[in-house]
Amino acid sequence: MKGVASILLVGCGDIARRVARRLRGRYRIYGLARSDAQAQALRELGVRPIPGDLDDLRSLTRLALSPQVVFHFAPPPATGAADPRSLRLLAALGRAHTLPRQIIYISTSGVYGHQQGAWVDETTRRQASSPRGQRRVAAEDCLRHHCRASRVRLGILRAPGIYAEDRLPLDRLRAGTPVLFAEEDVYTNHIHAEDLARAAIAAMRRARGGRAFNACDDAAWPMGEWFDRLADAFDLPRPPRVSRAAAPTRISTMQWSFMRESRRLRNTRLTRELGLVLDYPTPETLLARLTRAATPRQRTVM
């Protein structure tokens, strides 16, 4: 994207830090920091921290710095039906002399709700059933309305489960948390953290017209298969299987909320419109690398 001089990162977690590593040296990069520790971590990446908290509009006065691009990766609050954090961010950006040219937002594939295992693309109607998914629908809608009215380009990445070398649910396997019987299992979708960061940068360069993109890899595995493959790669016991009726008594409320929805995501827009070639086309790419790199003992203790 020509002419981009400054970038603002909002929601400076793992994906934002990966974006910063890829873009540093080419742009002036700012990051919203909620704490001194986060500010120091950003400085170490070459990012200029800006103190502020999306839960406090008064703390966001310094966001009126007229960045050309905003990467908005902050999630909505854990309660409520809307996303006041996005609203406060847009209000703070609106105080600048010049509005951003573009906002890239990471949403969730949870906006589609339960699709009974059907294939889903970006034209599928959003029908989020969980409060978490409904808040993401609200966030997408407020961003679309604002960007359309302000003539700001918007790109939305709908991400499923994010994984990486240091983002694998091995503790769940060690705890023996069950998954569903194969005949009752749900489909799950994934994206490697580095590919998601690359997708965000590709959206900055190529997304047009408020488009949404399923930011996922090429695999659509039943959830039990994902955990079986993960267990095999790390020489851990495969998880026990339970019925759908018994699952709520054996699984946390948060985990069960993910196991109640089934869908298979198509990533055609991601690869064709944004031109993204996945470094990790399936989770097996990472699992195979880790298996080759570690001894059996190392895999067990990771």
The tokens describing 287, both together, are: 């699992």
- Residue 2 is predicted with a pLDDT of 55
Report the relative pairing of strands 102-108 and 153-159 from DSSP bridges.
Answer: parallel
- Is residue 125 domain-resident? yes
Q: Identify any residues that bridge with 8 across adjacent strands, giving them in sequence order.
A: 30, 70
- Is residue 296 domain-resident? no
- Residue 301 is predicted with a pLDDT of 42
CATH number for the domain spanning 14: value is 3.40.50.720
* DSSP per residue, 200-237: HHHHHHH--TT-EEE---S--EEHHHHHHHHHHHTT-P
For 204-222, give one letter per residue: b (16+ CB within 10 A) or e. Answer: beebeebbbbbbbbebbbb
- The label of the residue with tokens 């709700």 reads 113
> Which amino acid, one-letter code, is at 163?
Y
Rounded alpha-carbon distances, angstroms, from residue 162 to 5, 92, 194: 29, 29, 9
C-alpha torsion 85→266→122→158, nearest 10: 10
- Is residue 291 domain-resident? no
Contacts of 298 (CB under 8 A, 6+ apart): none
> Which amino acid, one-letter code, is at 299?
R
* pLDDT tens-place values along the chain, 302 residues long: 455 689 999 999 999 999 999 999 999 999 999 999 999 999 999 999 999 999 999 999 999 888 999 999 999 999 999 999 999 999 999 988 789 999 999 999 999 999 999 999 999 999 998 999 999 999 999 999 999 999 999 999 999 999 999 999 999 999 999 999 999 999 999 999 999 999 999 999 999 889 999 999 999 999 999 999 999 999 999 999 999 999 999 999 888 888 999 999 999 999 999 999 999 999 999 999 988 776 554 444 44
| Residue closest to 208 by CA, chosen among 149, 158, 148 | 148
Report the relative pairing of strands 221-222 and 187-188 from DSSP bridges.
Answer: antiparallel
The tokens describing 61, both together, are: 């006065």
Cβ atoms within 10 Å, residue 284: 15
Q: Identify any residues that bridge with 71 across adjacent strands, giving them in sequence order.
A: 9, 104
- Is residue 97 domain-resident? yes
Q: Is the CA virtual torsion 281, 282, 286, 292 positive or negative?
A: negative
| Residue closest to 235 by CA, chosen among 167, 300, 285, 302 | 300
- Is residue 81 domain-resident? yes
- Is residue 131 domain-resident? yes
Range of the domain at 75: 6-167+190-218+268-272
Task: Quote the CA–CA distance of 125 and 112 in Å, as a whole number.
Answer: 7
- Is residue 285 domain-resident? no
Q: Are 41 and 63 in contact (CB under 8 A)?
A: no
Q: Are 154 and 100 in contact (CB under 8 A)?
A: no
Q: Are 267 and 121 in contact (CB under 8 A)?
A: no
Beta strand ranges found along 124-240 (DSSP E): 153-159, 161-163, 179-180, 187-188, 190-192, 212-214, 221-222
Structural domain count, the chain: 1
The alpha carbons of the chain give a radius of gyration, in whole angstroms, of 20
Q: Are 162 and 106 in contact (CB under 8 A)?
A: no
- Residue 3 is predicted with a pLDDT of 58
- Is residue 231 domain-resident? no
Task: Quote the CA–CA distance of 216 and 161 in Å, as a whole number.
Answer: 9
